[in-house]
Structure 1
């Protein structure tokens, strides 16, 4: 396993880390097995968030006895000092530890970022926790290039997390600037939120960029750890055949697809918008019609229930025409 220095934090992290979203669908014992296997493989970086339901708790259970083997990172959507201080304490309890290596401001808008750094904002709690030894370093995550660019100018930002993959290139130049400023760059959504089926190809592509410090694919099975690690450890230059496959993925997906970040929620009538788009993707792109229809049938509220209120669209960091896309999904699925 290759190791990198995570920018000005000085932390030594494995080139591939562990994204803690998918473990929400397993259990504590399953998480323990994953983390124990990670120790054997030399994967030492764990990413979670206050918003990932039971993820922090499962990881805390799984780290019992091996906490010192990991660089532990989490994040909070708190914007005020009081709320952030409370979230930090909750994270410490969930992780069953007395320190967290990296605590991040989770996906603020420009307006929310101003609140975070203003008087009584979340940054005050983060700095106090850092001075008290409860957290080691402070970072920020974003989906907006505007926020990314602003974060590069903030002296307290030690790491930045942003989507980067075969089809999402909007942050490429800003990622390069992270290196110039000695800010660790953490790559999220290397598989474009599951839209890229060839995980090995996707990770090979991401790791071919020297400006990416670490990538954090979400994993819930040891098989995924093994496959993803193999792809990330392959440091051979991309072959001509791989380059052709990469272009084919770009041609197939384009830029108009849902990354399942769920920031469009809540829907006024209860449509699970990311799930609708996920199943539609399998129906429309991967020739898995019956599987897609079976999954779609489990949704309590179908795409056809959309009332066109438009409340979801301003929340989407990718500016997708959600209402129009839901109409297409309703037509394709027939309900």
Structure 2
């Protein structure tokens, strides 16, 4: 196994990632936003992160050119980085192909962490666990020194709890923020008890939350090892790292500010609990809500449209039957939200053509 020493560690801002032995900055680098940056801009951003002490970089095979941009930026600096990437493939052949492509794009002979990406159904879990499943390929890759640790990511605590009981994953990556706290009750404590490295994603709910610093501080007191905000500007690197110099936990006044944010989004933000499913018309309501966020808040417009083109049903296929409204514990009016999303995307596409 090849092992890269991690340089420039500040013990006040860094921590061990579970029982992996990897020491990482508690504020990592989420690799989604660099998809919309030019190669030179992303390179400058990654260099700024490295120079300020960030050494954990998250990406995925499905994040278009994110791996390639990270690979170029980390060329000659590989010994300063812990890289985590992911495969969406559920079978061994696809997972192995994804890993080999990831290594090529990243310009490295191994990654510290490779994760099964967004395991969101029992069928997904069964497929990766089965003989000939993705985990078989990742275990072989680990034995060959291509991967140090195998992890899992997802949005549904009840599925991930089953995953933790079925396999000894080294790391867990889940959404945590003031709105999405369902992982804090059982999933994260269970992962902590197993010695897993715990990484919080979606810290500002895909850009929906405005109190960035307060959310990051809230998350880092919730039992996770690190948080990985997406960044597209060196100023954000400085701002995000500044939270490590501030006291934790939050004061009552600061918590009140976060609760106001929660109230502000209460009637429009989908928590992906799936109580609304199945939709009588066949819409994947939680995924469509993610697509709306990727389009408008992440500004990944072409990427989102490509994903939606492969979906059986999209926003405009909603018939406003109202079944989802009656099931939603947060009383979200999905038909109205989907109508608005469809109209806004159509208007934006029309404006871009002129």
Aligned twin of 2:177: 165
Aligned twin of 1:37: 48
Superposed, 1:19-34 pairs within 5 Å as 19-34=30-45
Relative distance call for 1:321 and 1:76 in structure 2 (3 A) is farther
SS at match of 1:129: helix
SS at match of 2:46: helix
Would the aligned equivalents of 1:208 and 1:235 in 2 still touch at CA under 8 Å?
no
Structure 2 CA distance for aligned equivalents of residues 201 and 24 of structure 1? 26
The offset of 1:242, in angstroms, is 0.4
SS at match of 1:97: coil
Task: Name which of 233, 255, 280 aligns with 1:243.
Answer: 255
Would the aligned equivalents of 1:32 and 1:61 in 2 still touch at CA under 8 Å?
yes
Structure 2 CA distance for aligned equivalents of residues 100 and 280 of structure 1? 31
Superposed, 1:57-96 pairs within 5 Å as 57-96=68-107
Task: Name which of 154, 168, 176 aligns with 2:189.
Answer: 176
Would the aligned equivalents of 2:214 and 2:250 in 1 still touch at CA under 8 Å?
no
Superposed, 1:57-136 pairs within 5 Å as 57-108=68-119, 109-136=121-148
Task: Name which of 175, 187, 190 aligns with 2:200.
Answer: 187
SS at match of 1:153: helix
TM-score normalized by the length of structure 2 = 0.77
Aligned twin of 2:246: 234
Aligned-residue RMSD, C-alpha: 3.3
Q: Deviations along 1:94-130, whole A, 9 cap, x unmatched? A: 0000010000000122101101110111111101100
Residue 197 (structure 1) aligned with residue 210 (structure 2): yes
Relative distance call for 1:276 and 1:140 in structure 2 (3 A) is closer
Aligned twin of 1:223: 235
Structure 1 CA distance for aligned equivalents of residues 333 and 199 of structure 2? 28
Q: Deviations along 1:256-301, whole A, 9 cap, x unmatched? A: 51479xxx9x989xxx8656568999xxxxxxxxxxxxx9xxx9x9
The offset of 1:205, in angstroms, is 1.2
Aligned twin of 1:292: none
TM-score normalized by the length of structure 1 = 0.81
Runs of 4+ residues deviating >6 angstroms: 277-281, 318-321, 330-335
Structure 2 CA distance for aligned equivalents of residues 28 and 333 of structure 1? 27
The offset of 1:14, in angstroms, is 0.7
Structure 2 CA distance for aligned equivalents of residues 156 and 68 of structure 1? 27
The offset of 1:247, in angstroms, is 1.4
Would the aligned equivalents of 2:315 and 2:341 in 1 still touch at CA under 8 Å?
no
Would the aligned equivalents of 1:195 and 1:259 in 2 still touch at CA under 8 Å?
no
Structure 2 unmatched ranges of 5 or more: 1-11, 273-278, 309-313, 348-354
Relative distance call for 1:100 and 1:334 in structure 2 (3 A) is closer
Relative distance call for 1:140 and 1:27 in structure 2 (3 A) is same
Q: How many residues align?
A: 303
